[in-house]
Amino acid sequence: MHAFDVLGDPVRRRILELLADGELTAGEICASVGAEFGITQPAVSQHLKVLRDNGFATVRPQGTRRLYAVDPAPLQEVDRWLDGFRRFWSPALDALATELARGRRERRAQADTAASTDDRRTR
């Protein structure tokens, strides 16, 4: 299965988002994802299997529990593939960052001007 087929499913993306914060048990994942998406434990288990089989998640037994974690390797491959397309959005994001910085500078300058005007009035 292609990485984007795996990541194209909102349930699997949500599972990866949860696992990005650290290991979780299968039960914790099922409780969270099952409630959020209204799906059963077997359905969540199938999504976990797809993530495991395609290398996006790892599982390790701990007693009777199974702990899941993100495996970053396939995500790094997706990121490398996306590198060829960043040129389409990076300039726009850079321009946005510049405009945001400009707006912050202008607000600080206005606040400084207002503060000095207030200081002169109180003297």
Q: What whole-number percentage of the chain has pLDDT above 70?
A: 98
| Statement to judge: residues 10 and 36 lie in one domain | yes
In total, how many domains does the chain have?
2
Task: Please check whether residues 70 and 39 belong to one and the same domain.
Answer: yes
pLDDT band at 55 (very low <50, low <70, confident <90, very high): very high
7 falls within a domain: yes
pLDDT tens profile 7-44? 999 999 999 999 999 999 999 999 999 999 999 999 99
Residues 68 and 43 in one domain: yes
Q: Is residue 83 domain-resident? A: no
Whether residue 102 is found in the same domain as residue 70: no
pTM for the predicted model, two decimal places: 0.69
Mean pLDDT score, 63-78: 92
Closest Cα to residue 77, out of 111, 54, 48? 54
- Is the backbone of residue 66 left (phi > 0), alpha (psi -120 to 50) or beta? beta
Which CATH number goes with the domain that contains 19?
1.10.10.10
Q: Which domain holds residue 28?
A: 3-75
**Domain identity same for 11 and 68:** yes
Residue 67 in contact with residue 18, Cβ under 8 Å?
no
